[in-house]
Amino acid sequence: MALIVQKFGGTSVGSVERIEQVAAKVKKFRDNGDDIVVVVSAMSGETNRLIDLARQISDQPVPRELDVMVSTGEQVTIALLAMALIKVGVPAVSYTGNQVRIHTDSAHGKARILQIDAQNIRRDLEAGRVVVVAGFQGVDEQGNITTLGRGGSDTTGVALAAALKADECQIYTDVDGVYTTDPRVVAKAQRLDRITFEEMLEMASLGSKVLQIRAVEFAGKYSVPLRVLHSFQEGPGTLITLDEEDSMEQPIISGIAFNRDEAKLTIRGVPDTPGVAFKILGPISSANVEVDMIVQNVAHDNTTDFTFTVHRNDYQNGLQILESTAREIGAREVIGDTDIAKVSIVGVGMRSHAGVASRMFEALAKENINIQMISTSEIKVSVVIEEKYLELAVRALHTAFELDAPAGTAE
Ligand code: ASP
Ligand code: MG
């Protein structure tokens, strides 16, 4: 008998029929003898609808009041699911964040969970009830309702699992797991049986949007085993854990992530003097523009070139700042490029294998794809390439690192 926290997202509770399907699923686990705590999101589209309502009153709704309102979406689904469970003979009780209590700080709209009182829930579990908790919301020290940020129900699920020392936190969603890469780009992408927290964070921040990043960080910090599963299809899903598998069997690369959200800025003919990197990036960071990859060339003729990437939304702003910096420090020219893409290979296995980067470069060379920038970390190698070659690059790398599903087994 296990204690499992199950989180169902907006599409899984998007209609009364679906809520009844969720109740049937929960009942199956319950009939198996497991203790179940369920966390639900609002019905799909509901949170957006509520935010739109507020915007009809004001462009910048008062954060405290906005939280009072958007938290109602989850209050509806917890009650509906509890009713659906009771209807099929499963004793159930619903709780808002305040009723549990899920204590957070007072940062409305992006509150952080500080502590959870789990006695109510434990008492109900002992009495044989399924406990249904509203995701996304909590309460601050003054008793104000807070919300955790969009997609925050994942974090509620993980935090409850940590507080209850649950055996597993299951995140039910509209995909059947985490894939080696986006199956829309590579038809032979495969579902991963397991992946480490570290890898998942790299995959998530690089655009594999299955889980809220904060929830993965939280799960890693408290070692909560996390499983991503399809809400309405049977299957083992993907387990996200701390342990790295036996390194003999472990693939070197677990997945290939990519994004098209970045743009490249280059300042050329910069006088090669101490402090120049700070002069270039200082004004960029003062403008709250986040920089991702950075490359500075070896100086030549006492000048150097300096290239970095920013989010595409920050491109125009970054370009203007860089042009004024160029005039100030006497650089030759500024050029920019938005037609770029970043491709990354991710895997804890590369820690124990040499030559992973060169294997990546070889695969790209074979396809005649030019690499514009490179960056590496312990478990990741990223390259920037011309955007039009992105799909070709991802497919070539997927094959080169033996991630393709064997013929006839693609899911
Ligand atoms: N209902 C909230 C949102 O739409 C929280 C969640 O779905 O996790 O962002
Ligand atoms: Mg969600």
- DSSP letters along 233-264, please? S-S--EEEESPPP-TTTS-S--EEEEES-EEE
Q: Report helix, strand or coil for 369.
A: coil
CA of 46 to the centre of ligand 1 (A): 9
Test site for ligand 1: of 41, 48, 67, 146, most ligand atoms within 8 A of the Cβ = 41
The mean pLDDT value for 217-237 works out to 93
Give the pLDDT of residue 265: 97
Return binding residues for substrate. 47, 74
Give the pLDDT of residue 206: 58
List strand residue ranges (DSSP E) for 66-140, in order. Answer: 92-95, 102-104, 113-116, 130-134, 137-139
Nearest CA residue ID for atom 5, ligand 1: 151
Give the pLDDT of residue 207: 53
Give the pLDDT of residue 205: 63
Give yes or no for residue 47 CB within 6 A of ligand 1. Answer: yes
Q: How far apart are CA 116 and CA 75, in angstroms?
A: 18
Return binding residues for ATP. 7-10, 173-174, 179, 184, 209-210
User: Minimum-distance ligand to the CA of 153?
Assistant: 1
The mean pLDDT value for 169-195 works out to 92
pLDDT in tens, 35-94: 999 999 999 999 999 999 999 999 999 999 999 999 999 999 999 999 999 999 999 999
* pLDDT averaged over every residue in the chain: 93
CA of 154 to the centre of ligand 2 (A): 7
CA 220 from centre of chain: 13
Give yes or no for residue 197 CB within 6 A of ligand 1. Answer: no
Give the pLDDT of residue 369: 98
The mean pLDDT value for 226-253 works out to 83
